[in-house]
């Protein structure tokens, strides 16, 4: 984490609107070679469309945000996504809860566009997307979001979990291993990548017609 913090902070122009935890997360995201993450309630930021991100920012952010501030937050989100763009090197493996596909954010058209974007990104060679179906019942991370960053060379992994006080970053080997094991169980329980794309397509059609 310290090494990531010492790297060039390309997000410095946005630091006034970022918490310490957010700066740490973006630093790890920029330095990592892979990220395994479970997202229970919404699409991960790296996979969000602009319209979907705007809807989240305007509804979940401070009520006093003006268009300039919204634009800056959208710009930050877009620049973060460069890690999985054409020149990006991050290997992303995400498990989404099925609830995130149905939770209508921004209206039917925005959701349809977001879900079709997920289908497109699922074919990216550096990205794996799985869906945790409702039928799976209780699973390894009902409590919230988890993730594990891995880095080039001999740098140890860093895990994170949701907590009542915000995102908690974990560096102890035992904690990282426990989080990695939880993600392995999630992946084993979730639909396969191919079946996940089929489900996303089906839900997208419901948003389009509903």
CB 95 within 8 A of CB 176: no
Q: 112-127 pLDDT, tens per residue? A: 999 999 999 999 999 9
* Number of independent structural domains in the chain: 1
| Tokens 């070679």, located at residue | 33
Q: Is the pLDDT of residue 56 over 70?
A: yes
- The Cα 118–Cα 105 span in angstroms is 15
Are the C-beta atoms of 93 and 36 separated by less than 8 Å?
yes
Q: Which of 3-12, 62-71, 114-123, 132-141 has the highest mean pLDDT?
A: 114-123
Distance from C-alpha of 15 to C-alpha of 12, rounded to nearest angstrom: 5
Please report, rounded to a whole number, the percentage of residues in the chain having pLDDT higher than 70: 90
Task: Write the pLDDT tens digit of every residue in 3-54.
Answer: 655 555 788 888 888 888 888 999 999 999 999 999 988 999 999 999 999 9
Q: Are 161 and 173 in contact (CB under 8 A)?
A: no
**Residue 90's pLDDT is what?**
96
Q: Please report, for the domain that includes residue 8, its CATH number.
A: 3.30.870
Cβ 57 vs Cβ 69: under 8 Å? no
Kindly tell me if the per-residue pLDDT of 140 is higher than 90. no
Q: What pTM was estimated for this model as a whole?
A: 0.90
pLDDT average, residue stretch 119-144: 86
48, two tokens: 């969000």
Domain that holds residue 40: 2-209
């Amino acid at each position: 984490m310290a090494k990531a913090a010492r790297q060039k902070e390309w997000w410095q122009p946005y630091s006034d609107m970022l918490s310490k935890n957010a700066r740490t997360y973006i630093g790890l995201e920029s330095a990592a070679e892979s990220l395994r993450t479970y997202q229970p309630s919404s699409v991960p930021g790296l996979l969000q469309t602009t319209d979907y991100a705007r809807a989240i920012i305007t509804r979940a952010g401070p009520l006093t945000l003006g268009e300039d501030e919204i634009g800056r937050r959208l710009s930050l989100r877009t620049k973060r996504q460069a890690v999985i763009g054409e020149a990006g090197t991050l290997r992303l493996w995400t498990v989404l809860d099925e609830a995130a596909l149905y939770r209508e954010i921004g209206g039917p058209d925005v959701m349809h566009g977001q879900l079709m974007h997920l289908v497109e990104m699922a074919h990216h060679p550096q990205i794996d997307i799985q869906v945790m179906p409702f039928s799976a019942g209780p699973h390894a991370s009902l409590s919230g979001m988890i993730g594990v960053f891995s880095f080039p060379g001999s740098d140890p992994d860093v895990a994170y979990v949701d907590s009542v006080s915000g995102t908690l970053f974990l560096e102890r080997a035992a904690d990282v291993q426990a989080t990695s094991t939880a993600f392995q169980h999630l992946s084993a329980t979730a639909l396969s990548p191919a079946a996940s794309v089929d489900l996303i397509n089906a839900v997208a059609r419901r948003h389009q017609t509903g």
